[in-house]
Structure 1
Amino acid sequence: MNIRIFSTTVTFLFISACADSNNGISEQIQTQFNASSTGPINLALVGPSSWERVCVLGPYTMNDHAEKILGFKWDATGKTSIGSNDGIYVLTFVKGNEVIAYTEHPRNKGDFMKMKPRCLNREQANLVRQSDNDGCVFLVTNQQAIIQR
């Protein structure tokens, strides 16, 4: 193989891997979720070590709304099924103005619908559970949980 083609291919794979979907992140969240029925979910422990904030995109989020949440353009509907799937949330791990990793996370393993704000700094990313009468488990910030008590 031509060294130039090989080098270009490796560079492309490396660059594209920087913001690829990572199902392992959702699995790490699910492990925390399944470990205890009452324990917190610490998002600071998942994803790449360099992320600065995590932003959550809800079901049916289109690119214009994703841009408002993230603060920059990102092709949410091209990279994920969020535009047509109501069974997931997309968690984006952001450094600066770039999504460095993202995952599609099933709502039945922690529903982010009530989490406000939609983006959290790493230091704020320790979430607590709130259950409703139907057994749905919502993940909210510690601050939200204190206010709602």
Structure 2
Amino acid sequence: MTAATLAACSPSPQVSARIGAEAAKAETIDLAALTPFAWDRALVFSPYTSTDDICSALPASFTSCANAYPQGVDEGSFLLVFVRAGNVVHHELHGRHNGEFCSQSCRLELRPETARFTVTSSASDQDRKHFSPAAP
């Protein structure tokens, strides 16, 4: 299956587009404000994260993890996973063209009240947006 097909398996795969649109016009983004559903924990997996690493970090209730992401995360994407009360409520691939959460390998674990980022542009590519945790 292709990455686009897998992303479409998640209900309303629109968070990445909202992030990209907000990053294009604002100096900060608030991830909780950009999600049309409730969540209490979000995980962001960087490109090249393996299926084993993804599935071991997610609640056991997400039994379809290995089927949803059999090759892990490819080089052009981040994986966003939102959890509420121990259940995955939404997951989708976030294209790097919509903004980068880290420049190296990373796994971020966020709460709604701390999921705020400062948006900066790359010196070499003004269209490429980078996100850094915003000061509380």
The TM tier, using the shorter chain, reads: 0.7 to 0.9
Contact 1:114 1:140 in 2 (8 A): no
Q: Residues of 1 paired with 2:123 and 2:57: CA distance?
A: 30
Match of 1:90 in 2: 79
Within the candidate set 46, 55, 60, 1:67 is matched to 55
3-state SS in 1 of match to 2:14:
helix
Query: How much is the aligned-residue C-alpha RMSD, in angstroms?
Result: 2.8
**Higher normalized helix content (fraction of residues):** 1
- Compute the TM-score of the two structures, normalised by the length of structure 1: 0.67
| Greater length-normalized contact order (CA 8 Å, ≥ 6 residues apart) | 2
Percent of residue pairs identical: 23
Question: Amino acid of the residue matched to residue 138 of structure 1?
Answer: H
* C-alpha deviation, 1:127, in angstroms: 0.8
Question: Amino acid of the residue matched to residue 118 of structure 1?
Answer: L
Over 3 Å counting, the alpha-carbon distance change for 1:138 and 1:77 in structure 2 is farther
* C-alpha deviation, 1:128, in angstroms: 0.8
Q: Which has the larger radius of gyration?
A: 1
Match of 1:139 in 2: 131
- Compute the TM-score of the two structures, normalised by the length of structure 2: 0.73
Over 3 Å counting, the alpha-carbon distance change for 1:56 and 1:63 in structure 2 is same
Q: How many residues align?
A: 123
3-state SS in 2 of match to 1:66:
helix
Question: Amino acid of the residue matched to residue 32 of structure 1?
Answer: E
Question: Amino acid of the residue matched to residue 17 of structure 2?
Answer: E
Q: Residues of 2 paired with 1:130 and 1:79: CA distance?
A: 31
Structure 2: runs of 5+ lacking an equivalent:
1-8
**Deviation digits for residues 39-97 of structure 1 (CA, Å, limit 9, x no counterpart):** 11110112243211111011122222113444x34454532476252101111111122
Over 3 Å counting, the alpha-carbon distance change for 1:128 and 1:77 in structure 2 is farther
